[in-house]
């Protein structure tokens, strides 16, 4: 339909050039799936077109997240000492070696909250903050922008359920986080000493408790 084709063209323009063909195939498969439903279920041809557009919009974010996972894998490959960070010099070295996605300048990384300068002589890029930043959004269409999905939200939920409070001692947080798995880390696990130390520093900064929804914990 014309409406579906218009949305598909928007997605193609916003998608990274290397994946345009995959985007085309995926969107057409969704359209065919919807158009294959019975007329009684979807009504008129216009009804099927509306349903196809809605399905593409609803499914596109989770579907395209494989691109974000590829970026994450590249960053994890050069991660520093299991800290969830990449030294800035390694970040730019990857760009020099051909990874054009890692070319943001230092001021921009600072602006989007992806630059950790807690050690001025050894600045680093926070992997989750960089992944969730506007730098990795596919660009805006007339409908919406598509950005990387936040894995942190899935980790926050069990943390909040276990703690039942907006802040907690670092020891309790470490015990819970050590039992949480993610797409790249198995559980149970022992957190690196550097991460344990950083969490302790956050607690000391806030009178012995770590605010779960504060900036420092989000960076941690």
User: Is the pTM here over 0.95, yes or no?
Assistant: no
- What would the pLDDT profile of 115-128 be if each residue is shown by its tens digit? 999 889 999 999 98
Average pLDDT over all residues of the chain:
79
Instruction: Kindly state the average pLDDT of the residues 136-146.
Output: 68
Confidence at 26, pLDDT banded by 50, 70, 90? confident
Q: Would you state the pLDDT for residue 51?
A: 77
Taking alpha carbons only, the member of 6, 59, 56, 60 closest to residue 31 is 56
Residue matched to tokens 């294959």: 36
- What would the pLDDT profile of 155-212 be if each residue is shown by its tens digit? 788 888 888 888 999 999 999 888 887 766 777 888 888 888 989 999 999 999 999 8
Instruction: Kindly state the average pLDDT of the residues 140-155.
Output: 72
β-pairing, 167-168 with 210-211? Answer: antiparallel
DSSP-derived letter for residue 146 is: -
Rounded to whole angstroms, the Cα distance separating 217 from 16 reads 32
Q: How far is CA 144 from the centre of its chain?
A: 17
Q: Would you state the pLDDT for residue 20?
A: 66
User: Alpha carbon of 121 to those of 82, 118, 126, 152, 161: distances in Å?
Assistant: 19, 9, 16, 28, 38
Rounded to whole angstroms, the Cα distance separating 23 from 141 reads 15
């Amino acid at each position: 339909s014309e409406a579906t084709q218009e949305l598909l063209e928007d997605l193609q323009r916003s998608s990274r050039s290397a994946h345009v063909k995959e985007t085309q195939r995926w969107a057409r498969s969704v359209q065919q799936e919807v158009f294959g439903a019975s007329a009684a279920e979807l009504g008129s041809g216009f009804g099927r077109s509306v349903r196809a557009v809605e399905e593409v919009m609803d499914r596109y974010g989770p579907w395209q997240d494989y691109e974000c996972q590829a970026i994450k894998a590249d960053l994890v490959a050069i991660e520093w000492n299991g800290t969830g960070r990449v030294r800035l010099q390694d970040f730019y070295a990857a760009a020099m070696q051909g990874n054009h996605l890692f070319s943001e300048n230092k001021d921009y990384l600072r602006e989007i909250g992806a630059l950790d300068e807690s050690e001025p002589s050894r600045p680093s890029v926070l992997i989750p903050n960089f992944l969730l930043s506007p730098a990795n959004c596919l660009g805006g269409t007339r409908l919406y922008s598509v950005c990387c999905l936040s894995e942190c939200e899935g980790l926050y939920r069990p943390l909040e359920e276990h703690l039942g409070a907006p802040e907690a001692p670092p020891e309790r947080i470490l015990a819970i986080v050590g039992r949480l798995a993610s797409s790249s880390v198995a559980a149970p696990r022992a957190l690196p000493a550097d991460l344990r130390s950083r969490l302790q520093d956050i607690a000391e900064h806030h009178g012995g408790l770590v605010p779960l929804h504060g900036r420092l914990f989000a960076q941690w």
